[in-house]
Each structure stands twice: as C-alpha cells, then as structure tokens.
C-alpha cells in the first residue's frame, strides 16, 4: 500500500497544474459533480474486485446445473471462510470471469489507458487459459487473422450474443467512476473482441452499473440509470426494462418475476449449444438475473447474492456481477464480515494463468481509475476528487442475427476420418450452424490441425482449419447466415485425413427468415 499512497500523492500534485476539464468532450455533459475521498475510491474499487470473487465463489457449485429452473430453497449452497481458498487451490478455472478481466487490466498497466483493441485481443487470444463460447470463437478468429471488431461480429461468431463480455466488463466500470460514457468507450474497444449486439450490451450495462455505484448508493437508481447506456430498440434494453416493470408489479415476489422472464426471454437464438435447449448462456437473460438479484436484494449483500444465484443458468457469473456492483456501492469495508472472511486467505495469491493477485489489482485498478478520472476532467484535490458525472448517452444500435429465426435442430452425427472424408447436409432456410470438433484418436498422438473445405450449393469451397488442441479449437465446424431463403446443400470434405485424428459432426441448427 505504500506504493499506492505515493502514487495518489503524485497524481494530486500533477493534477494541480493541469487544466480542470480540458480533456472533457462536449458530448460528455456534466450533470452532477460528486466528491469522493481518495480513501473511499480505493475502498470501493476493493469492494468491486473482492465482491466479484465472493459472488463467483458462492455460485460456483451451482453453475449451469439448474437450466431453465430456479434453484430451490431446499438446496443448501455452502459458504464458510475456506471457500475461496478451496477453489484457488483445487478448481481455479472457476474464476475465468476474473482472470479474463485481469488480462485487460494488465494490458492497460503495460501500455497505458489508451492501449488499442488489438493489444487486448492478442493478449487474450494467446493466453494459456481455456475459453468457451464467444470468447473461444473470438480467440480462434484472432489467431486466424480476423481482428476486432470483426472477431466478435455475429457473421463471424455464432456466440456473439452470449454472456462472455458481460462477465468480463467489470474492469471498465471500475476504472471509470461516475463516467458511464467513458466506460462505454472502453467497452467498445474491448467488448467487440468477442461479442456484438446484445452480447456487447451486457458488458456495457454491467460496466455502467459499476460506474454509477461509485456515485450512488440507491440500487434502483443504478439499475435504471445504467439502462440509459443501451439503445431502447435493442432486445437487451427491452428485457431489462421488463424486469424493472415486473419488479414494480411484484415487489415482494422475485420468483414471479423469474417466471415472467422465463416465459418471455428464455429462447436462445444464437448460441448453437442453447438453441432449442434449456441451457441458456445468452447475455440478456443472465443480465436479467443480475438485476433480479439487485432489485429484490434491496442492498442486502446476502439476499442479493442468493437471489441472483438461485435464478440459475450461469449462476456463478451472475452473482459475481451483482456482488461486484454491490461491493463497489458498499465499499470493501462494508461488505459483511461473514462474506469477506473467505477472501482474506487468497488476497495475496495470484489468480491462475496470471501474475496478479487481488491485492495487486486493488492497487492497479485504483491507479487506472485515477488516470481515467484525470483525463476526463476530474478535479484532483489533496485528499478528495470531484468527479464530473457524465450525462449518459446510449451506445450505437447493433442487432445480431437480424432476420434469422431458428426453426430446426437436427442430428447429423457423422465422423470424418480416413474411411469417410465427406458429409453432406441439406436444409431449407436462410442460414445454418453445423456443430463439430476435431480430436486426437489416441492420447499419444501429437496435436494436429484438420484441414477441411465447406461448400454451399456447389459454390467455391471455403477452407476450414480445426485444431485438435482444446485451447485453440474452432468452436463450431461451420456456419453461414444471410443465404437466400430456400433449399441448400452444405458439403464438408476432410482433406488431410490420417489415423491420428477425426472430426466429429454434431447437430445442424437451421435458421429461416420466416418467423415460426
């Protein structure tokens, strides 16, 4: 903490000689000036990071074990002072929504707060940790030359609306206290690495709530005000607006609001793993569960975590977001001791795949927040900061899978190998996703890359590379949207068949321009 104290003093001195608001753009109109002490800033940043770890740990045992159903009150979710340490030592992959954040924090630390999107993209694409869904599709794109923002675009990423950036956007709000538009700009840079449309909006919204948690202790205000960052025309906005309305209609019954969410918003459109299944990793429904936890939790830390967890689906990431936002609002010093005591044993331990601990990110995060505040016209005084709270502007409208409605899910269940090198799939619609994966046929073989081609209706073949290595795999075998509505034939051919690997072909998800 000595380094942090020196850093705060240096920034205060530098700020005294700088212009008061010379870096503030005209589009970022100041509506409120909020004063926060530097000690309070640090306390809130610590609360955000620690709260995220606490929520993730609490929900860990239930993650995707309750899909399309609430977790019953009869299911006891364990908690004690050893929980975080157990996961750190035995199942560190639980904290993917934390160490993913830290990848971007580390880039800002090394390159400064203006670090470009490509630096963030390359850092996460080449990291050692395993990835899934939009993150893995984005990683594959980057490793194969498709850089952001195209790496997250729905035409290149069937998981564009998935939760991935939503669980990783905490850092953007934590480094932008009271400055939602600034947080959105950071999200624009980083979030389009892996997401687009509603998937990106999930991160923008979560970051906005973090940002507002620095300047308001009113949960209802934070939930409602942050939604101004999202275009009203988007389904993400409409989903969260519904949750807010249902909370007003059923103020004492979160389970009724959950049922309304399930009835209206539970059908996934994009994620090939979730279409026509109970599994749902779509950003907006999981964001709805965050909001349910926050609104019905009413500022109570235990209620907030428990409700956001018991909504099910991604039930570690959702309480992580809710716990981090509320932790920011309360501050580290006000997180109840029964929750915080589990964090103490791990605060000096590096997260898996990183060289960063909680104590490290408390310091780094505060430094970055101070830099962002100064850059955006905050008035730095000896012990306090006057934050020019920005009038929130909605980000640009983006719609994934527009004009595409899932109509069929059919099993193909074929294997491509030395005996069978070709498969054809016929469908009627305007788009498809073909699930598939390459894998070694025996563990003693070295990892390799399957080379395939995909042609549609006899057209020019498209080259496909499918690594057998899990970390660099292609999440789906192939896909194509925006085809003319009608009958189509997809042909996949394996070019470099050897006994060392095979390519399994799973289901085909069919889309139509005609709403079912």
Give 217-231 pLDDT, tens digit per residue.
999 999 999 999 999
- DSSP assignment letter at 165: G
Give the closest residue to 336 by CA, choosing from 299, 289, 290.
299
Dist CA 45 CA 209 (whole Å)? 13
- Average pLDDT of the segment spanning 63-71: 96
Cβ 169 vs Cβ 194: under 8 Å: no
Element (H, E) at 16: helix 2-16
Cβ 46 vs Cβ 359: under 8 Å: no
CA 239, 194, 183: angle at the middle one, nearest 5? 65
Give the CATH fold of the 23-390 domain: ADP-ribosylglycohydrolase fold (1.10.4080)
Handedness of CA 459, 462, 468, 474 (dihedral sign): negative
pLDDT of 4? 43
pLDDT in tens, 22-34: 333 323 333 456 8
Question: Under DSSP, is residue 181 helix (H, G, I), strand (E, B) or coil?
Answer: helix
Question: How many angstroms separate the most distant Cα atoms in the chain?
Answer: 75
How big is the chain by its Cα radius of gyration, in Å? 23
pTM of the model: 0.93
- Average pLDDT of the segment spanning 494-513: 98
pLDDT in tens, 280-327: 999 999 999 999 999 999 999 999 999 999 999 999 999 999 999 999
- So where are the chain's domains? 23-390, 405-512
Dist CA 323 CA 81 (whole Å)? 17
Dist CA 315 CA 318 (whole Å)? 5
Domain 405-512 in CATH: superfamily? Answer: Nucleoplasmin core domain (2.60.120.340)
Confidence check: pLDDT of 12 > 70: no
* E-assigned strand segments in 305-416: 379-380, 384-390, 405-416
Cα 516 from chain centre:
30
For residue 367, give every residue at least 6 positions away whose Cβ sits within 8 Å of its Cβ, in sequence order, or none.
Answer: 4, 7, 109
Q: How confident is the model at residue 516 (pLDDT cuts 50, 70, 90)?
A: confident
pLDDT of 33? 67
């Amino acid at each position: 903490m000595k380094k942090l104290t020196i850093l705060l003093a240096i920034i205060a001195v530098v700020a005294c000689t700088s212009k008061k608001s010379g870096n503030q753009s005209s589009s970022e109109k100041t509506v409120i000036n909020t004063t926060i002490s530097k000690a309070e800033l640090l306390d809130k940043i610590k609360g955000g990071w620690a709260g995220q770890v606490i929520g993730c740990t609490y929900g860990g045992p239930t993650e995707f074990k309750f899909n399309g159903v609430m977790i019953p009150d009869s299911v006891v979710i364990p908690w004690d002072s050893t929980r975080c340490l157990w996961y750190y030592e035995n199942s560190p992959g639980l904290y993917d929504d934390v160490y993913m954040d830290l990848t971007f924090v580390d880039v800002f630390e090394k390159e400064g707060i203006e670090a470009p999107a490509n630096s963030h993209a390359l850092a996460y694409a080449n990291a050692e940790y395993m990835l899934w869904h939009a993150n893995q599709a984005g990683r594959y794109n980057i490793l194969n030359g498709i850089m952001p923002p195209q790496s997250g675009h729905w035409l290149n990423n069937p998981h564009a609306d998935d939760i991935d950036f939503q669980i990783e956007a905490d850092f953007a709000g934590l480094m932008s206290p009271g400055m939602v538009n600034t947080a959105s700009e950071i999200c624009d840079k980083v979030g389009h690495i892996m997401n687009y449309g509603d998937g990106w909006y999930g991160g923008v919204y979560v970051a906005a709530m973090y940002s507002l948690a620095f300047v308001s202790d009113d949960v209802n205000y934070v939930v409602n005000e942050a939604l101004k960052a999202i275009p009203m025309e988007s389904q993400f906005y409409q989903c969260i607006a519904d949750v807010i309305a249902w909370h007003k209609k059923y103020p004492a019954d979160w389970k009724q609001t959950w049922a309304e969410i399930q009835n209206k918003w539970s059908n996934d459109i994009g994620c090939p793993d979730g279409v026509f299944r109970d599994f749902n990793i779509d950003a907006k429904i999981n964001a709805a569960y965050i909001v349910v936890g926050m609104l019905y939790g009413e500022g109570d830390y235990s209620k907030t975590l428990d409700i956001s967890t018991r909504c099910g689906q991604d039930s570690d990431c959702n309480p992580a977001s809710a716990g981090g936002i509320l932790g920011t609002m309360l501050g580290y010093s006000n997180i109840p001791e029964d929750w915080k005591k589990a964090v103490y044993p791990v605060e000096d331990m590096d997260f898996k795949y990183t060289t960063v601990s909680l104590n490290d990110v408390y310091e780094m995060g505060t430094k970055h927040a101070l830099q962002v505040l100064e850059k955006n016209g905050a008035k730095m005084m000896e012990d306090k900061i006057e934050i020019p709270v920005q009038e929130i502007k909605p980000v640009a409208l983006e719609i994934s899978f527009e004009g595409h409605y899932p109509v069929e899910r059919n099993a193909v269940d074929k294997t491509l190998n030395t005996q069978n090198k070709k498969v054809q799939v016929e469908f009627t619609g305007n788009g498809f996703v073909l699930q598939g994966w390459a894998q070694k046929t025996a563990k003693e073989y070295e990892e390799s890359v399957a080379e395939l081609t995909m042609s549609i209706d006899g057209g020019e073949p498209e080259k496909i590379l499918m690594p057998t290595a899990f970390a660099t795999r292609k999440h789906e075998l192939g896909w194509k949207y925006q085809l003319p509505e009608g009958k189509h034939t997809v042909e996949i051919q394996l070019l470099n068949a050897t006994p060392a690997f095979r390519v399994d072909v799973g289901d085909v998800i069919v889309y139509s321009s005609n709403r079912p």
